Each structure stands twice: as structure tokens, then as C-alpha cells.
Chains A and B, each alone.
Chain A
């Protein structure tokens, strides 16, 4: 599942990734923009997803991502691979790893690097 948390409308990257994953043979759900953490966790549960990828460019990631990982845990979905992409400063990456976001992909990441990461790490 590719999700766009928060108010950020920059959806170019999310859509490119969703399509690249689909072209790589994965089944992809794209949530569309303006998703609250609750909406993302609920959709992940309903769709029974293996991977949640969140794209955010507004800088609100440190407020929104922990809420999503917390809700996933509450739904017993801690085995879901959680990834993040967008404008995320390097200094935030250790904290994101700590909250259970295993892959953080910044600007300029080739799509096949993300595909490879998912194949190697998804349950």
C-alpha cells in the first residue's frame, strides 16, 4: 500500500512508486492524498497488506509516522514492512528506524532499489 499522510498534496513520487511496484508484479493499493494516520492503519488492516509505504514532502513526518506505526501495532500488524519516502532529513532517519520504519528513501532513489528492498524484507 502506498499512502499519503497529512495535508501534503505532492503526490508525484507516491504515484511513480505505486506504478513502478505494480510494473514489478506487486499488487498495489494507492490511498490517494490527505490520509490521517487512522485512515492509513485502517486501510492497511482492511486490505491485509504486507507493506505500507508512506510518502511525505511537507516535513510533518515526525508527527504523523509514529502515530501510524503505533496504530499498526495496535492492529497486530507489526510484521508489516513500513517504508517512508520524500523529503526526510538524514538526522531523522535513526528515530524513524527506531519507531519501526525499516526503509527510508530520499530524493533520487532509483525505483528498482525500493523494489529490491521490498523483495528482500517483506514478510
Chain B
């Protein structure tokens, strides 16, 4: 963007500035620290100038929004055309309680739904399984059968609102329950819009809710790609997630690199199945964290779009531009919240959300102030949703596209993160690819290292966290926390027993047997899973069949 003569002149002037103006200031006032760094411990310079982005080529590196390489955004008008989807991740206790929460959130102006499932559901156990001891409804809503799914979406227009479901190992089963629920209401699957998280690779890397070994897990994921591309054209069959990688303690660069490496791995598997990349790539979506470092996060989102577009077009030869687009959901950083002085979390969440908006997110969840202590109360979640509405309507941030482009700092950091991501891609490749790198503990070790460094920076007060190591308050602050139905578990088990009692058990057994032979062979499992769900087989029964066929994965614990 700058000619050589201008840059040469600038270089000389900057040298002069350093020796005079800057030197004079530093002689009188030292800076607050010898080194400044991002939340991810990456160095931050005092000043950025055109010299830091001397090689930037506007058309090649930034371009126009809605055009390759999409650095500035996936749509030409971005949030001027349509605001991001305000999608609050929610779920607790029984389907009845969570259904009431969804209706409340929709009434308060949220524009998309997002289901949080409880631990037993995430691990494919029915609520009354002994392995589920104490976990019912604690981390999300329990869904053990189609009956629970029907209650969960009762009275909610699933043909109008899109639903995101955070489910991974049992993703195909829970998706089938959603499809069957809509079918019973006369809504064909072709009309359903939403997102299945379905990102198993990051489970091994960070979230740890894996069940089967990597290869059969990936086969199930590709089964959903294939089924979705044929039958649910509006559904995002995967949400390739950096969120959990970041929450587990990674840096921004690691989140970016590992997430995109996972994404590219899914593309390879889809192609290896014989699918046309242009058939499934447009339905791949992403999910990132927005952490504390305002600018670094914005740069991460911009770098992600540019890398993905390039890899999809250049490496995989995708021809449909929709397959080049990195569309993403963002959640503000849960791990940045403090149990101390919880009101401060409203402010943290606000700037994290603003970074997501300025970074061009398609959808956003804002955490509630009480989430370092419990699942959100109705009051806390309302404040979190209002935060998005304030950004949308009052901040002005949604009125122009990619307003930080051209900032020397932002462009230099975007380039730096992109370079960091490619450095990681090469390391992963040298280990034999994503799955061998998982099996060797590479990602787990990288993340544990970063998490420990971050904690040590806090403990040594190199990094200040208000309420944790500075500006402490002696008196504990009490805010009202969510209370769940104490009879919830009994009601859940009663419904589950009713399902088992009243269904045509012969039909359920036949469907489960058919699934078993599909799983043992190479046929797509999705239609068989759908038949099991329609026959009211429970989540635990269906996953039990798959556990039997595929086995269970154990990881080596890495500290």
C-alpha cells in the first residue's frame, strides 16, 4: 500500500523520533512495564506504523467484504444488512424448565436458540444410568429420548427459528431426535435450519467429551455431512470449535491454528468419502472464543477468514464461493469471568462481545455475570442479552463494515496470527496430521503449557486481573443464583420409564439391530439412527449399540 520511497522516508523519521521525542519522554518517565503482552503472552510493540505492514497488498490481503479472501467479512453489507444472530446458550434441569427459559429469551429479543445438554446426554447416557450419578441437569438440559426433545421445543416455531445444538459424540442421535420432533409436528427436515456442533476432534484436544476412538467418530461425522448435504440444505452439519480449546487454556494463535487444522481435516475426510467438496463445504461453520484482549481477538477473526478462504480455494479446489466462507458463532470467554465481584463480568463480557462484532461474527452468545458460580439466573442472562442489544443499537459498531481495517496495529497482528497458524499447521503435518498429533498428546501439551503460563503470570502479578490479584474486596458479594426444580430428576426418570413402557418394543429392537449392522459395515448410519429415534429407542440404547461396535477411547493423562 506504500511505495518504497515513502517507506524509506518513514524509516528515517521513525529513527529520528526514537532518538529525540521518544527518548526525551522515556528519560523522564519510564513505561509501566519493560514488556507489554497480549492475553496470550504475545509481545505488543509501543507503536505500529506503515513499516509494520509494508508488504500489505490491499486487494490480495484484504479485498472487499463478500469477496475473496473475505478478510473484511463474509457479506458485502455485514451488520448493516442484518445484525448477527443473538443466540444464548442455555439449558438446565428438565426439558420443561429449559423450554420456559427459551421462551423467556425469545420474549426478551434473542433471535436464535442454542441448546446446552447435561453431562450424561453429552456422554450418551440416559438420565437414570448409574454412570450419570449426580450429573442430571447440572450443566445443561437432559435429553434421553424423543419425548424429551418434544417437550424441549414445545410451542417454539422450529421452522422459523434456527437452533444450535452443542453435542458431539452423540451428535447424530440428538440431531435425529430434533428431525423426528419436527417431523411429528409436520415440519419436513428440508425446512429445518440450525447447527450441530459435531466437532469431535476438539473433544480429544480440549473438551474431553469423546466416547469412541477417533476413526469411527470421524466416520459418524462424515455420515452427517453426507446426510445433511442431501436432506437438510439449511443445516450447518458441524461447528468447528476453537471455543473449548481456548477455554482449556490455549493462546489465541493456538485456538486459531488448531481449529482451522481440525476444519481442514474434516474436509479431507469428506473428500476421502467421495463427497464433492462443493456439496458439503458450504455447510461447515465455525465457533470461536472472544477473550479479553480486544484487538488480538478481532485480528484472530480476520485472520481466520483469510486462511480458510485461501485453503478452501487453493488447496482443496472448492469452486463454490460459499465453501470459501468462514462463517462463525462467537461466545465470550467463560474462563475470563471471576467469582469475585461478579458485576465486573458484565463489563468484561461487553468488550469481548464488541470485539466479536467488530471481528464480523454471524452469531453471538454473551456470558452471564454469575457463570463463574453457576448456570445463569434469569436476571443475569437478561443483562447478558441486553449487552448485545446495546452494542447493536447504541454503540455504532454495527454501522460500517470492518471498521478497524487499515489500522497498522490490527493489520500487523492479523498477519502475525496468520503466520503463527501456518507455523502450527507445519508442526501438525510433521507429526503425521491431526489424529496422530492428538494420539501423541501434542495439542494437549501445548494447551496445558499455555494454561500454566497464564496462571503463573497471574500468581506472580505480572498479569493483573481485577478482583483476583488487584483491587480485592474483603466482603464476599452475593448475587441470587439459579435454582432448579428439586423434583426434576424424578420427573425425568418417570418420563423415561413411560417411554420404555409405552413404545412398541419390537420395533425399537429391530431398529437398533439395523443400526448395529449399519455401524459394523460401511453404510451411512444416519437413516438407521433416525429409525431408532422414531421407534423411541433412548439415547443410552442407541449410543450403547455404537459403543459396542466402536469401543471406547481412553486418553493418556497429560499434565
Contacts and interface: CB of A to CB of B under 8 A. Distances in A.
Interface in A1-60: 6-12, 15-16, 18-20, 22, 28, 30-33, 58-60
B134 A63 contact: yes
B162 interface: no
B557 A30 contact: yes
B139 A111 contact: no
Given A58-B119, A59-B138, A108-B467, A11 B373 contact: no
Contacts of B459: 110-112
Among A30, A59, A87, max chain B CB count under 10 A is at: A59
Given A22-B559, A106-B339, A16 B455 contact: yes
A108 B559 contact: no
B448 A19 contact: yes
Given A8-B119, A12-B335, A108-B467, A64 B559 contact: no
Nearest to B447: A12
Contacts of B451: 12, 15-16
Contacts of B481: 89
A16 B452 contact: yes
B476 interface: yes
A62 interface: yes
Interface in B319-346: 335, 338-340
Nearest to B118: A58
A60 to B, nearest CB: 3
A111 B461 CA distance: 12
Contact of B134 (A10, A28, A64): A64
Contacts of A8: 119, 135, 139
Contacts of B209: 9
Among A10, A20, A106, max chain B CB count under 10 A is at: A10
Contact of A7 (B135, B248, B452, B558): B135
A10 B335 CA distance: 11
A4 B57 CA distance: 50
B94 to A, nearest CB: 15
B456 to A, nearest CB: 8
B104 to A, nearest CB: 22
Interface string B117-137: 001101100000001111100
B545 interface: no
B331 to A, nearest CB: 15
B519 to A, nearest CB: 23
A91 to B, nearest CB: 9
A19 B558 CA distance: 10
Contacts of A19: 448, 452, 559
Interface string B444-463: 00001001100100110000
Among A7, A8, A16, A58, max chain B CB count under 10 A is at: A7
Given A8-B119, A108-B467, A110-B469, A58 B138 contact: yes
6 closest A-B pairs (Cβ-Cβ)?
A63-B134, A9-B208, A32-B557, A60-B134, A59-B138, A7-B119
20 contacts: A6-B135, A7-B120, A7-B132, A7-B135, A9-B209, A10-B208, A15-B451, A20-B452, A30-B559, A31-B557, A32-B556, A32-B557, A60-B135, A63-B134, A87-B373, A107-B338, A107-B339, A108-B340, A108-B468, A110-B459
